[in-house]
Amino acid sequence: MRLLACPHYLLDLVQLCNQVLLFIAWYIITSITSYLPLRHIPGPPLLVHSVLYQAIRASQAKLPADLYRAIQKYGHIVRVGPNHIVTDEPEMLRRSWGVRSEYTRSRWYLSMRLHPERDNVVSMTDEQAHNTMRTKLSPGYSGREVDDLEERVDRNVVALVNLIGEKYAREEGKAMDLSKKIQYVTMDVLSDVAFSERFGFVERDEDLWKYIETLEDNFPAMMVFSALPWVVDVMRWKIFRALMPGEKDLFGLGRVIAGYRYSVSNKVVAKRFGADKETVRDMLGSFIKNGLTQEEAESETMLQIIAGSDTSAGSIRTALYHLMTHPQVMERLRQEIDSRHLSWPIVEDAETREMPYLHAVICENHRVLPPVGGLMPKVSPPGGDTLNGVYIPPGTEVGVSWTGLMRRKDLWGENPEEFDPGRFLDGAAPLEVLRERKAVADMVFGHGRFRCLGRTVAFLEVTKVVVELVRRFDMTFVDPNNPWEYKAYGVNRIRNFWVTVKPRKSG
């Protein structure tokens, strides 16, 4: 009777306390049960007990460095979360990413879902659906079903060098942000290859719709989503839809989506799915030919624009940075370029394939600053696994420390921190070591059934842009003490790469 006489707020307080106690009990129990299976694997205490710290560090672009320090302190297999480990072992990548691997994709990949209700080939966690989609996309990405793939890349690279030569190189001391110019050309290349219509970033010499600025501003949030994939599920709730990029936005990702849908859906996709179907042999045409629906084709084309352009741009930017900060490497590459009597106005793909020092520079660039540095975790199979005598229980998320992998002294030598393309050249190490170095450096594009579909176009872009800028222009940092702003998120965010340019007098 006394309880019935209590004020209602006291009853509410009792219920609230009960809920808090239940939550604390649930948290303690789940923490213990998740901790026990991996208790035999050491790791940093702040990372071991919660993924929240991992999310915070990832959003601050500090997680790759944290993981590298953990590898150095605890060994080649380190615990970095309640159910997460990270490794720098090449064998684990081959084992977990291989064609016949029993490992599966974790929910980490949900962070690449560009539409709240629709997956793409990167965000899919259903293995069968993912493999089926890769099979449909592969002919287009490889270029087998794209007419004039190299010519599409060429005309955009020529547009870039013409822009730099005519607008910036003619006026001595005129500065330009090289980081933006590189992203402009990768955006135009991919829109040209994807659906035969260029966005026009290079032509306008402008960050259209503030796309680049907004994408880079969203990197911290994307890193949080990758560490806390349940947030992606929450964003599907109607209450949060207003926060997602929309076609009515004036700027940013939503505006790109709107521009994309206007130029592709209304002008291209509708033609290819309409009553009078139009067949074009570009990537979109290949996707449709191989069975993608209109919605699937839109999603995949948008993915390659957003994901493909930024990683390719990052690779080109870092390559040019390393060349500019290592004059002896720049000079040796120019000697190789000048001695080859390359095609004009643009080098051919077949010619770049016969340039060993160019490829050594690119491999070393990917080793020192990998264009993609996310954990990319795979889930261990039902029977578990064992690596180097360490048991990995079933259902464990196994990620990669790219910095650790690319700094192993037993593979790269005693100077892994240095930028030295010579380590990839014949005679630099025994043949089997050279083969392993090249294979590991190439893992930045994935491996086995997780191999990057866009590798063909990426290599065309990177080799051609690097060769043409190096053989045509002398570039100088505006501020050698602060040459750029660099942060390592899941991809490299590079801003304010200010340079002055003048035509090269020799070569």
127 shares a domain with 8: no
pTM for the structure as a whole: 0.89
For residue 251, which of 214, 298, 200 has the smallest C-alpha distance?
Answer: 214
CA distance 278 to 268: 8
**Res. 252: pLDDT tops 60:** no
330 shares a domain with 362: yes
| Per-residue pLDDT tens over the stretch 282-325 | 999 999 999 999 889 888 887 888 788 889 999 999 999 999 99
Beta bridge partners of residue 502, listed in sequence order: 474
Mean pLDDT of 136-142: 95
What's the residue count for the chain? 507
Q: What pLDDT is recorded for position 251?
A: 47
5: domain range? Answer: 1-38
> What residues are designated binding site for heme?
452
Mean pLDDT of 419-426: 97
Q: Are 86 and 80 in contact (CB under 8 A)?
A: yes
| Per-residue pLDDT tens over the stretch 149-175 | 999 999 999 999 999 999 999 988 899
319 shares a domain with 216: yes
For residue 303, which of 109, 147, 64, 150 has the smallest C-alpha distance?
Answer: 109
Count how many domains the chain has.
2
Mean pLDDT of 166-194: 94
22 shares a domain with 69: no
CATH code for the domain of 358: 1.10.630.10
> What residues are designated binding site?
452
11 shares a domain with 104: no
Q: What pLDDT is recorded for position 44?
A: 95
**Top-confidence residue, 231 or 405:** 405
Q: Are 105 and 121 in contact (CB under 8 A)?
A: no
128 shares a domain with 33: no
Tokens 């990995």 map to which residue?
A: 392
131 shares a domain with 24: no
Q: What pLDDT is recorded for position 290?
A: 96
219 shares a domain with 180: yes
- CA atoms in the 13 A half-sphere facing the CB of 286: 25
For residue 406, which of 395, 396, 420 has the smallest C-alpha distance?
Answer: 420
343 shares a domain with 254: yes
| Per-residue pLDDT tens over the stretch 324-372 | 999 999 999 999 999 999 999 999 999 999 999 999 999 999 999 999 8
Q: What pLDDT is recorded for position 491?
A: 85
153 shares a domain with 30: no
Residue type, 121: V
173 shares a domain with 68: yes
Q: In sequence order, what are the residues at sequence separation of 6 or more whose Cβ sits closer than 8 angstroms to the Cβ of residue 455?
A: 445
What does the buried/exposed string (b/e) look like for 453-469 if buried means 16 or more CB atoms within 10 Å of the residue's CB? bbebbbbbbbbbbbbbb
64 shares a domain with 27: no
- Average pLDDT of every residue of the chain: 88
**Res. 43: pLDDT tops 90:** yes
Lowest-confidence pick of 183-187, 261-265, 469-473? 261-265
For residue 340, which of 361, 356, 321 has the smallest C-alpha distance?
Answer: 356
